[in-house]
Structure 1
């Protein structure tokens, strides 16, 4: 509460200070300094600020700072947006938000960003954002590198390891992906991929791992060699979050899709070589039917259907779920389904028939019947649901799909099978402590446990722990705290192929680590914290990722 009172006082002071300023926009002088709204940045500072924003802020606030999950960060508020422009907040107001975070899920950046970086951002956010140059099929093709041609790759594994239980581990800030043998817990290799790697997806056969970074770079990793290696690379945009392969029968491992944040488009590739095939813009009108044309309509999560030759993509700012038919990849047929803004992440129900996705800025979960290409339901859940891909459990209430929330301490269980209460929240539970900040939930068909992190909660005890619930009774079983010798925030749980181990990352601290727990006893089995472990985030088990088990 003290933080909120301080925030209100700072904003009031900022408003009074701003009211006395001459807010007339000034032009860039000849010495190449940007002077605007009473603040000054050099060209070098502008470049550094752009990099910081891209790395830390663009995911929630948009590459062009127009807002999405988080509010806009423009000097003057866009028409129709009642939230203040950054010039109204001023240096003190912006600093307060950066240092303290917000109850709605923004983390506090004090201690993560340096004092110099925070001071720079208080000025950078008061000038107009840089303009993004074009990046179409021609530019994408120029980035394509076929490192190992298909004919030169092995036709069968050159080792006796169990590829199904490999883990791909993202080391986000290092721009690397580690491949770990889940049976032996041995690091096999660490590969340089792209800046701020976001997710990994596997080919339908499970052979290839595709990574995509926030710089839009896609890296294709082959697991058949004794030491997995990179066989192709391409850049699909300046900023991206999602990649997926074709999984429908007859199209396995044939095509790949990646979604751009900036530019806003999706790109289809040859999944064996990463050669670009086509680019389709996702700009357009929003789901509410208003005439406003939304240029920055970013592609969030993408999933591959097992029942039809199509991908399901979420167009964030427009609130559209698009079904992309890839039978003709040069001219893909797109069916858009209006839902709710702003779409983010989601996954399949237990049948693989229905897709559930968070419209987290609208506090809703959207349900899509994919084979019949229609909206089923929009469900109110809580403040800023953030399920990751969600997770599926089954108990006396039926088949349930689960989401956690960024903005409040709530875990919602949505009934997905037929019967009374279908497509409604039939149960809600809370973890210990106050506030949200949960990024991921995780369970497994062979487990009776539900794991929930609190990564973005400002409380240091909460974000350094995960909570475990009984999937049958909903009882809170245990808060698992950070073991000695590691330091940071616990994030993202992933099961092994057998469903009897849970892997958790520790990042954003003084000592990174991977923690491996026995899912039955909830006891720590192993800590991996060698020097090569650098700020790990997402972990993806090959078998579970290939078969959409979550």
Structure 2
């Protein structure tokens, strides 16, 4: 496996170069390779921006070469931008800086044939795999997957760590080619999981033997992934190019390819990235969120050609989403319109709007039951000069009426909840904040603020609700484990740039905040 991944890292630059339509001189080829390998996972493989800002002639054409060289050389403390001094030569740094200043965003092609040809098989005969976990665990629902991006996001220390949520010991670690972003579990077979990296590669993981059995490159950059509730298909999106592919969940062979474009609210025909794909137990559907086209596409997997219903004018700059308790509605965030929008799978239309705080970013969302009422919690990332308040929006998850906007000390990204806990936990992600806040379910007030010692991200309860796992991101470089009753830290585990955390019980509970 390690040799395969090493080979994959060496080849990625060549693969990208063969796909990019570049007018650059031949001497730029090494710089393109270096950018793809060292920078693409954060800034986009086509330099158009992703987690980090765009880096091309349109965005940085007026920058002095020396200024960019300094940024690359010394990095930006307190962020994911690392210090490349000693890892890249001065000539390589200059080459990347000149590439950024002089070259526009290239056209990128990665079609169905490219996807098929990128399939790599590590375990040809999956029947040879063990028929039970090879590590001590009483209940596989206790597994907690932690994404370890690695500080340099170029394949070094990029892996997913699996913890036993009952004793907090690492039971497995699986290396991947680039920064891992998101993981989804198979809903009907507990042994399988699927992981998407910020390099665009999708992995099928065997949780019994803790190894990848195969992988495929769906495109370049983009985190969206979902597994259908019948367990037959996995869907994943690409930011570069603007596509979604549906694959056979067993073999990862691609079966359907979508180019994402549509008419936005302003009436313009635009290409769009998929900022989210959501599956639901309510029906055999995938819902694809089109960020720039302001649409949600509902794909019916029970039809011969995967028929698509396009729900238009949902909201501008659509982002992440989560399900209602019964899975009948998908609730999606609209960054620009500062609202949450409920899209109904049965009616295939918008059925509710929730006014939210600045730039709602709901993460995996959360809904809890309080006195017979389902209360949803929408986090709000709240960035930008126009934002004068940071809140969490509590709303009725059946009528979509706002109950309360709960003030927080900063922007929030991901809520966590469990039926046996009195709290909804939110991460504070703005600026230098390193805290999580606890919201009482009944009073809807913040009752505790807790500094975790590093940039706080992605809280997640263990399946039994006894512990909370939190990433103390690129400032703390630790996984922090908290006793959910005493709200005290019980363990800190060194992890290089920890990111998303995903409990194995997610497919069973369907919506965070309930029991399976």
Structure-2-length-normalised TM-score: 0.81
1:36 equivalent in structure 2: none
Two-structure CA RMSD over aligned residues (Å): 3.4
Shift of 1:136: 1.4
Tell me by how many angstroms 1:274 deviates. 1.3
* Runs (5+) with no aligned partner, structure 1: 1-26, 34-41, 77-84, 99-105
Offset at residue 315 of structure 1 (A): 1.2
**The residue matched to 1:366 in structure 2 has which SS?**
strand
- After alignment, is 369-378 or 115-124 more displaced? 115-124
**Matches of residues 30-429 of structure 1 in structure 2 within 5 Å?**
32=26, 43-49=29-35, 54-58=40-44, 63=46, 65=48, 75=57, 86-87=60-61, 109=79, 112=82, 125-146=100-121, 147-155=123-131, 157=133, 161=137, 162-173=139-150, 174-205=157-188, 206-224=190-208, 227-247=209-229, 252-290=230-268, 292=269, 294-295=270-271, 297-328=272-303, 331-338=305-312, 339-395=314-370, 398-406=373-381, 407=383, 408=387, 409-418=389-398, 422-429=399-406
Contact in 2 for aligned 1:412/1:425 (Cα 8 Å)? no
Q: What displacement does 1:413 show?
A: 2.7
How far 1:475 sits from its partner (Å)?
2.1
Cα distance in 2 for residues equivalent to 1:107 and 1:315: 33
Q: Distance in 2 between matches of 1:92 and 1:401?
A: 49
CA distance 1:288–1:90, change in 2 (3 Å): farther
1-side partners of 2:503 and 2:186: how far apart? 12
Distance 1:345 1:194, change over 3 A: farther
Structure 2 match to 1:540: 502
The secondary structure found in structure 2 opposite 1:362 is coil
Q: Which of the pair has more CA radius of gyration?
A: 1
Residue number in structure 2 paired with 1:458: 431
Cα separation, 2, equivalents of 1:412 and 1:373? 28
Given that residues 222 and 228 in structure 1 are in contact (C-alpha distance below 8 angstroms), is that contact kept between their aligned partners in structure 2? yes
1:507 pairs with 2:473: yes
Aligned to 1:517: 482
CA distance in 2, matches of 1:110, 1:417: 35
Deviation, 1:44, is 4.0
The match for 2:413 among 439, 448, 455 is: 439
1:87 CA displacement:
4.5
Match of 1:481 in 2: 451
Query: Could you list the per-position Cα deviations for residues 246-302 of structure 1 after superposition, in whole angstroms to 9, with x for gaps in the alignment?
Result: 10xxxx221111111112111111111212222121123324433x3x23x111111
Q: Structure 1 CA distance, aligned partners of 2:54 and 2:24?
A: 27
TM-score by length of 1: 0.76
Over 3 Å counting, the alpha-carbon distance change for 1:245 and 1:452 in structure 2 is same
Give the deviation of 1:149 after TM superposition. Answer: 2.9
Give, in whole Å, the separation in 1 of the partners of 2:435 and 2:57.
37
1:175–1:97 Cα change, 3 Å: closer
In the alignment, the residues of structure 2 paired with residue 120 and residue 426 of structure 1 have an alpha-carbon distance, to the nearest angstrom, of: 54
Bigger drift between 131-140 and 340-349 goes to: 131-140
The answer for the alignment partner of 1:10 in structure 2 is none
What's the offset of the Cα at 1:324? 1.0
Post-superposition CA distance 1:437-467 (Å, at most 9, x none): x221211222211211122x223xx2x2211
> Is 2:493 aligned against 1:528?
yes
State the distance in 1 between where 2:407 and 2:84 align: 34
Cross-structure match for 1:490: 456
Query: How many Å apart are 1:473 and its aligned residue?
Result: 0.7
Measured in 2, the distance between the counterparts of 1:47 and 1:163 equals: 41
5+ residue gaps, structure 2: 1-21, 151-156
> Separation in 2 of the partners of 1:68 and 1:363?
21
- Contact residue 193 and residue 205 of structure 2 kept, 8 A: yes
Task: Return closer, same or farther for 1:231/1:94 CA change in 2, 3 Å cut-off.
Answer: closer
Q: 1:153 to 1:109 in 2, by over 3 A?
A: closer
The DSSP-based 3-state class of the residue aligned with 2:392 is strand
Q: Is 1:449 matched up with 2:423?
A: yes
Deviation at 1:522, TM superposition (A): 0.9
